[in-house]
Structure 1
């Protein structure tokens, strides 16, 4: 068949705009009402409106490589042209509910198994096979989908809700999709269509879909580098070096190995090297046990990992990523050595989360090759990659880092050099204000609850316990200058010690700590701070609004290319709820005047 695909779906940029003729539903209804059998011959993808088109056809034939699905839920929507009403009549309630509420596409083989596809064609003979298939169906006549009965157990919808309660927390669209599928089981077809349309319009003009569509476009926009010459040639990355076999270095290495890119991983001590490579293998084997990899794939990936104790072995690498602990002198020493070892044109990257890339680059004679590649932990799981452009970073080095980030499955965002870059710089005022709120009378539980109810995966103190309360601690138990110092001094280092801002059981379930309450009260009284009632709204105003303020500063300083890049960083790096669109998009919904007034009320300098 002509073209690369059947129908990939609607033009998302048209959503929310006045409709133009012809009416899509009218077109679909006319196909379904045709007096002769209509066959959909599917190759490539049949997604969204594409699958809804296939559903009004009386029969469907597809090549084995085809994908079929209704991904609208991922944009905060539902199939609005009869998809939620026709699917249960073709594949049954359970499959229809699963497809619409998750948005995951099906391979043609699974679609055939469910009855969504009637026949599989040859990969290269779709047109000919479809004609033969259509001729065979002439005697059967048309088979209007709307006239077919809905089948399956409606109770499965409730089971789906229960199974996905955590994943769907705060989202509207999955539940609206399920409500429409449920409606198909009890309403006549036309009434079901009317219900679907009502739900679709409610989602279309709601804030959640606007936020999710914003992120869809923001992710694609983030890949663009402002001011990059159009004729910029990418450097070839055939082999990668990673310095440091700890948690970050191992995770970073896994990204490249999974894409078939050989990695040489360097450490200073044999036991650290063995431990690091052992963790990589263990992680791959755990994934293989879950069916993600075949055992032979694990062996293939491990076969292109070369462990070494000698930095000289990185001499043939095209990209070298330093992933040692955060100490400027240590990093500069490593880069000075790499300057002598690395081949000409090799990109030298630091995984630092906040240190000055320009200062690191001064340790080399090739600052144009130096940049930051800040992976987020766990590096083999988290999708965000901040690519930090130094003052002298060459355009082709930056473009190559962005491209290799995309190749290994990351969402890469360009950041400028500043303390904490984009994400951690915005995180800092939130954490500072969370501690200030503790001193004034709020509890860790209240502050964390407000953030979780907002949609964050965890609050500031849950995050501290996960990362480690002792990170950055001066290690002097007699020097108590903050609540964090007081906790660290008595061994409350977070989840790893079973106690931090919370107490943890053997399954790491948190509970409020009487000891922490005493420590906070003692520190508050010694600091002559008066305890008062603090509202949930004040917590929002003093923890999230300052983040927006910092984001505005980052933009004004040119450390982020665009506001939507900041949103992408927080969605993919910190778990900001996608249905709120990122901090800068959310600020637009909250209202700039409201945020400015609150910041001024609480004594912040407004950007």
Structure 2
């Protein structure tokens, strides 16, 4: 049974279980079961108080987000009804909290009179990160325990706080020494005679609230969360009147309205998609990932440094191997400087920083690849160079060692054929800076074994990355789509836009950085090399000459001080470059194009619908298994805003018929060949379906 109860020395104990995260799921019968056991215990003579506890390592991760696409009454109703039942109980209630009490789980605990927490417990109301606010009394009860200012700060940020902080603030009434259940029983026995002490009945401290609201509004806000932050302010403010139930009703109204808002829909989708990508279609779920403890990284350049840092940050051993001793020393200096900077900024303890530095080693002897569970090649993006490395790895690496390439565009199957063990070869495409970026494209070759795939997906989780499986093609998922995104950005320049307008339109829409600023940051020379190769391989897909004209000047972006923009120093804000703008205008004239006014709306549609169209082709070819895989790549690797949900989700929200109609209009213009609709879009439109249907079919 998911909920059970017993009586221990005249204290009732209700225990619920919904492993592994104990969500307060109506589908699993958790809120209904707790209420039923409460009825039973309250009817028992001699019971003086009740402890509410959970099985397992966690009290509760909150409401079941998979249920949030139902109507508002079904989403909030069961938990709200349970907490109303807790409010009506005649006996004192004590929540025993281990692990984490999050969201709706914490709101259930707030419906009790007291909270006893394990020393390592964590508390949070993180709903704002999903575009919501607490919707079962959290904005009303938490302020009465901690004060309105502190509660608003935590709710508006979705902050996670420790048991110690919770105890100091009044959220937790006691911290357990030793056995939590025993401590909660003892606490309940002590307060049993005092009767109820409902949080709703406590006085509310609002000192400094107006100033806190002003400070919160003055902070830069993620545009996707701004609505939820304002809603949190409104809900906490609504609770400052004398009528608690009126404030509660206002919270419910605000939550229910946010539930169906576009940002909340997208953020919920993003949350679920990031978890779904770990369930790889076609991969035997019974396969267990082999343990990865020691990793060799070939190449001491920027990517090799970032990858090795990501590895040691996760508590693993990393050895950087490069034949150039000077490159190794530079890598050592940069890596240690990064670790020490994190220590100095309070992100790492002294012990953790020392451990990370100790976990990094360096070698100029290629034979030192022996003794590692995984080897990641991170050398220059050239097939000839890759061939030399993998030929040596095949000769020297231990049998069974996984051999991975960090290539961003090259054919992983060709790389695997440089070895006699293609089943052990896989692509691991990290995104720069590799120690910070969450995305890891896992490229499954034609001969990559299921065991290899299962192990590297487990490795992605070990190093706290979001691993997404892609098939083999030029650019895999992310960079192949990025090519079409950039193609439209460049064509827009030819037709009448200038760099600041293109980037500004995309950034105002929500992209973390516009396409041209992105290329300046990444280095224009990287894209130039790829375009040269693709121009030879794909002569039927011509490129704009604009980026090449800039590269021919030696202007490669921030690292050279000039690209599409001028930079006073690396990392500085971009400044308009009149010479680049003149070059763009001259190129339009050479092409015989009459420059025209281009709206921000056209810029956004062309850049985004180019992504959607290429994403549809990837789905048709099996390079991406599901639209959610594509969306997760773009949200975690390319700055696509989570509150838009990814290019495929966004296309569904716009409506595929409208997307197809706009593409047909664009096909009448300059370089219209690029707007030939992917057959999948045509088929889905004919069937009256969207990309979401393919997520369900491929799970």
Common fold: TM-score over 0.5: yes
Match of 2:660 in 1: 596
Are the aligned partners of 2:524 and 2:557 in contact in 1 as well (CA < 8 Å)?
yes
Are the aligned partners of 2:80 and 2:136 in contact in 1 as well (CA < 8 Å)?
yes
CA distance in 2: counterparts of 1:146 and 1:597, whole angstroms = 54
Deviation at 1:37, TM superposition (A): 2.4
Per mean C-alpha deviation after superposition, the further-off stretch among 171-180 and 587-596 is 171-180
Query: Within 5 Å, which residues of 2 pair with 1:289-438?
Result: 289-438=344-493
**1:605 partnered with 2:676:** yes
Query: Within 5 Å, which residues of 2 pair with 1:278-297?
Result: 278-297=333-352
Deviation at 1:166, TM superposition (A): 4.1
CA distance in 2: counterparts of 1:566 and 1:240, whole angstroms = 28
**1:486 partnered with 2:549:** yes
Per mean C-alpha deviation after superposition, the further-off stretch among 485-494 and 536-545 is 485-494
In structure 2, runs of 5+ residues without a counterpart are 1-52, 531-542, 668-674, 679-699
CA distance in 2: counterparts of 1:263 and 1:525, whole angstroms = 53
Deviation at 1:180, TM superposition (A): 1.2
Match of 1:149 in 2: 203
Q: In structure 1, which of residues 532, 535, 551 is the aligned counterpart of residue 596 of structure 2?
A: 532
Query: Within 5 Å, which residues of 2 pair with 1:55-204?
Result: 55-124=110-179, 126-151=180-205, 152-154=207-209, 155-163=211-219, 165-168=220-223, 171-186=226-241, 188-204=243-259
Match of 1:574 in 2: 638
**1:541 partnered with 2:643:** no
Match of 2:614 in 1: 550
SS of 2:582 mapped into structure 1:
helix
Deviation at 1:526, TM superposition (A): 2.1
**1:8 partnered with 2:61:** yes
Deviation at 1:132, TM superposition (A): 2.5
Per mean C-alpha deviation after superposition, the further-off stretch among 139-148 and 66-75 is 139-148
CA distance in 1: counterparts of 2:319 and 2:529, whole angstroms = 34
Deviation at 1:144, TM superposition (A): 2.2
- State the structure with bigger RCO (CA 8 A, min sep 6), 1 or 2: 1
Match of 2:9 in 1: none
Per mean C-alpha deviation after superposition, the further-off stretch among 534-543 and 503-512 is 503-512
Q: In structure 2, which of residues 560, 568, 579 is the aligned counterpart of residue 497 of structure 1?
A: 560
Match of 2:584 in 1: 520
CA distance in 2: counterparts of 1:547 and 1:388, whole angstroms = 20
CA distance in 2: counterparts of 1:170 and 1:549, whole angstroms = 28
Deviation at 1:153, TM superposition (A): 1.5
Deviation at 1:582, TM superposition (A): 0.8
SS of 2:433 mapped into structure 1:
coil
Aligned residues: 601
CA distance in 1: counterparts of 2:258 and 2:479, whole angstroms = 33
Deviation track 1:277-322 (CA, whole Å, cap 9, x = no partner) reads: 1111111101111112122222222222221111101011111000
Deviation at 1:405, TM superposition (A): 0.7
Deviation at 1:232, TM superposition (A): 3.0
How high is the TM-score relative to the length of structure 2? 0.83
The structure-2 alpha-carbon separation of the partners of 1:33 and 1:423, relative to structure 1 and needing over 3 Å to count, comes to same
Are the aligned partners of 1:244 and 1:265 in contact in 2 as well (CA < 8 Å)?
yes
Per mean C-alpha deviation after superposition, the further-off stretch among 411-420 and 443-452 is 443-452
CA distance in 2: counterparts of 1:2 and 1:428, whole angstroms = 50
Deviation at 1:231, TM superposition (A): 4.3
Deviation at 1:570, TM superposition (A): 0.6
Are the aligned partners of 1:241 and 1:264 in contact in 2 as well (CA < 8 Å)?
yes
Are the aligned partners of 1:171 and 1:579 in contact in 2 as well (CA < 8 Å)?
no
The structure-2 alpha-carbon separation of the partners of 1:157 and 1:285, relative to structure 1 and needing over 3 Å to count, comes to same
Aligned-pair Cα RMSD in Å: 2.0
Match of 1:266 in 2: 321
Deviation at 1:160, TM superposition (A): 2.2
CA distance in 2: counterparts of 1:520 and 1:370, whole angstroms = 43
How high is the TM-score relative to the length of structure 1? 0.95
SS of 2:525 mapped into structure 1:
coil
CA distance in 2: counterparts of 1:238 and 1:62, whole angstroms = 34
Deviation at 1:416, TM superposition (A): 0.3
